[in-house]
């Protein structure tokens, strides 16, 4: 049906009618775009992988990292023997904004095998597997002329299993800064994670649960400040093998942190 604008101008009541209809439909359009917004973002945010570079019994590695999104991470690892290590990691983030609140918690633990090789035993291979648990709370709000139109709360509890292979080198390349040399070393890892929802509620109503399998290639660079303390920059990708609406991929890792490494008796003995 075609409506002539000149016809509408002759009938002021039609103008009032269409204005009122637009006013009623505007909140619906706002809610529609909000739905598009939160359906495209993932309820899962990966944590900074634990890459301790263990090489000898009794060695401890601990780290604290923060991402560009404000996701705080801690990592800890201990070498129980010369080839067996245990891991503990966690993450927490809380952002409160006018249109979106986001709170995320994650804890995970694992264990695995490590070994050093090469002419100077300065290359390290690590293979770890583990489990984890986390939850995400997201609130989305829509406003019209400064007034709250709608608010949606998503609550997700999920379980996680992962397999991770790390390769790193303690062979140092010097970085010259302000007249000082800072040794650099590098590493890479590949983490495969299966994340599955235990509960999924939207405004208190149960929703169909989702899961996904994530592939995460990780790269990190460490700058040694002392024998025990290093600065670390971490970057990664995040790829989901399943097409999901909420448990999707896309949240990559870009973080800066500090790592301590103590208790390497093999290193001390070789230094003597």
Q: Write down the pLDDT at residue 210.
A: 97
Please state, for a pLDDT cut of 90, what percent of the chain lies above it.
Answer: 61
Q: Identify whether 22 is part of a domain.
A: no
Q: How far is it, in rounded angstroms, from Cα 48 to Cα 90?
A: 9
Q: Identify whether 25 is part of a domain.
A: no
> Which pair of structure tokens corresponds to residue 113?
């095998």
Count of the separate structural domains present in the chain: 1
Q: Identify whether 87 is part of a domain.
A: yes
Q: Identify whether 105 is part of a domain.
A: yes
Q: Identify whether 187 is part of a domain.
A: yes
> Which pair of structure tokens corresponds to residue 40?
């495209």
Q: Write down the pLDDT at residue 218.
A: 94
> Which pair of structure tokens corresponds to residue 3?
């409506």
CATH number at residue 128: 2.40.128
Domain span holding position 140: 41-271
Residue 94: which of 67, 66, 65, 70 has the closest Cα? Answer: 70
Q: How does DSSP classify residue 209?
A: -
Q: Identify whether 86 is part of a domain.
A: yes
What digits encode the pLDDT tens for the residues 100-127?
Answer: 999 999 999 999 999 998 877 788 999 9
Three-class DSSP category at 259: strand
Q: Identify whether 16 is part of a domain.
A: no
Q: Write down the pLDDT at residue 271.
A: 40
Q: Identify whether 33 is part of a domain.
A: no
Which pTM does this prediction carry?
A: 0.79
Q: How far is it, in rounded angstroms, from Cα 105 to Cα 121?
A: 37
Q: Residue ranges of the chain with pLDDT lower than 70?
A: 1-40, 171-172, 176-179, 264-272
Q: How far is it, in rounded angstroms, from Cα 53 to Cα 75?
A: 12
List phi, psi (to 5°) of 34: -65, -40
Q: How far is it, in rounded angstroms, from Cα 229 to Cα 153?
A: 42
Residue 199: which of 143, 265, 246 has the closest Cα? Answer: 246
Cα 45 to chain centroid distance, Å, stands at 4
């Amino acid at each position: 049906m075609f409506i002539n604008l000149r016809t509408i101008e002759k009938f002021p009541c039609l103008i009032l009618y269409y204005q009122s209809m637009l006013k009623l439909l505007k909140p619906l359009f706002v809610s529609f775009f909000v739905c598009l917004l939160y359906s495209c973002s993932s309820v899962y945010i990966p944590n900074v992988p634990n890459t301790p570079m263990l090489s000898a019994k009794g060695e401890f590695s601990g780290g604290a990292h923060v991402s560009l999104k404000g996701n705080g991470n801690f990592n800890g690892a201990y070498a129980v023997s010369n080839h067996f290590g245990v891991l503990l990691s966690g993450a927490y983030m809380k952002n409160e904004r006018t249109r979106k609140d986001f709170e995320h918690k994650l804890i995970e633990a694992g264990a695995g095998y490590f070994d050093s090789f090469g002419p100077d035993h300065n290359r390290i291979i690590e293979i770890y597997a583990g489990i984890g648990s986390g939850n995400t709370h997201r609130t989305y709000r829509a406003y019209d002329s400064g007034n709250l139109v709608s608010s949606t709360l998503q609550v997700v509890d999920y379980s996680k299993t992962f397999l991770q292979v790390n390769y790193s080198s303690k062979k140092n390349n010097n970085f010259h800064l302000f007249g000082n040399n800072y040794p650099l070393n590098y590493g890479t890892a590949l983490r495969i994670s299966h994340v599955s929802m235990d509960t999924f509620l939207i405004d208190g109503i149960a929703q169909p649960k989702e899961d996904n399998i994530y592939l995460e290639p990780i790269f990190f660079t460490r700058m040694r400040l002392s024998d025990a303390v290093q600065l670390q920059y971490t970057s990664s990708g995040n790829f989901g093998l399943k097409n999901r609406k909420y448990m999707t991929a896309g949240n990559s890792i870009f973080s800066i942190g500090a790592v301590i490494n103590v208790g390497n008796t093999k290193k001390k003995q070789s230094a003597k």
